Amino acid sequence: MTRILMFAVLCAASALSGCKFVETAELAARAQASAKPAAGSDIAGRWDGEVLPYFTQKAKPLAEIKAAVAGGLDAAGKTFGYREVPEGAPWNFPVVVTGTIVEANTQSRAATAEVDTDGDGKSDATLQLGPVIKGTSIRDVLPFVSFTSYANQIEYAEVAKAFNTQAFERALKDLPRDKLVGSPVEVVGVFTLRGASDKVLVTPVSVKLGAGS
C-alpha cells in the first residue's frame, strides 16, 4: 500500500515530465544526502580550537624560513613546512611576518599589502587582504585536513574556500585600509612555494597592526 501511495504522489507531481516509480529506500537515501552538511561548514567552529593553535605552534619567522629555502627548498620544507603529497606538490610554510607596511593596494577586491621585514624600504612579503583571497594555502598547510576525508575535489575546494572566508572575517575584514602604509605589523599566516624563487604571498590568519605589534 505504501509503494502504491508513493507512486500516486510522484505521478501527480511529475505530470508534465512523466512518471517514475521510486523505491522508498532510494527516497530515504536522497533525503539523507540532501541533509548532509555542506563541505567546510564546520570550519568556523574549528578555527579557534584547531587552526589558530596549529599556527601558534608551527609558524616561524620569515627570515628563518627564507634562509633555509636558500639552502634547498625540499630540505626547508621538511623542516619548516608541510605538504600532504610526499613528492611533487608545493610546500606550505606557516610563517610569522614582522615589519612595516610600505605599500597597499586596497582598491581591488583581491587587495594586498607589501611588508618590509628588514628595514631596507623594500617589500619582502605580500599579504593578501581580501575579500577575495587566492589559493588554498591555509587548507594545504594543515595536516589534519586531508583530501581523503572528502567525497571529491569539489568538496575539497569548498573547504579551502571556507578557510579563506574565515581568514577574512576573523583577521582582515576590520583592518583600517586607509591607514595601512607606514604601520608596523605582525602577521601569522602561511605561504606556498613551488620553487625557491617564488614570490612570498602570505595568507594571514591573524594580524596585529600598530605600535604594539
- Domain ranges, ordered by start, for the chain: 1-36, 38-209
| Tens-place pLDDT, residues 44-73 | 888 999 999 999 999 999 999 999 999 999
- Note the pLDDT tens digit of each residue in 149-192: 788 899 999 999 999 999 999 999 999 999 999 999 999 999 99
φ, ψ for residue 105, nearest 5 deg: -110, 95
Global pTM? Answer: 0.80
The predicted structure's pLDDT at residue 14: 47
User: Of the given ranges (21-30, 88-97, 124-133, 202-211), which has the lowest mean pLDDT?
Assistant: 21-30
Evaluate whether 110 touches 130 at the Cβ level (below 8 Å): yes
Residue 99 has φ and ψ, to the nearest 5°, of 175, -150
What number is the average pLDDT over the span 132-150? 93
pLDDT at 36 over 80: no
Q: Which pLDDT value is given to residue 103?
A: 97
Of residues 179 and 34, more confidence is placed in 179
Q: Which residues contact 113 (CB under 8 A, 6 or more apart)?
A: 101, 103, 104, 105, 106, 126, 127, 129, 180, 185
Residue 69, all three cell numbers: 629555502
| Phi, psi values for residue 210, rounded to 5° | 115, -175
**For the segment 153-162, what is each residue's pLDDT rounded down to a tens digit?**
999 999 999 9
CA atoms within 13 A on the CB side of 133: 30
* Class in CATH terms, 38-209: mainly beta
Q: pLDDT above 70 covers what percent of the chain?
A: 80
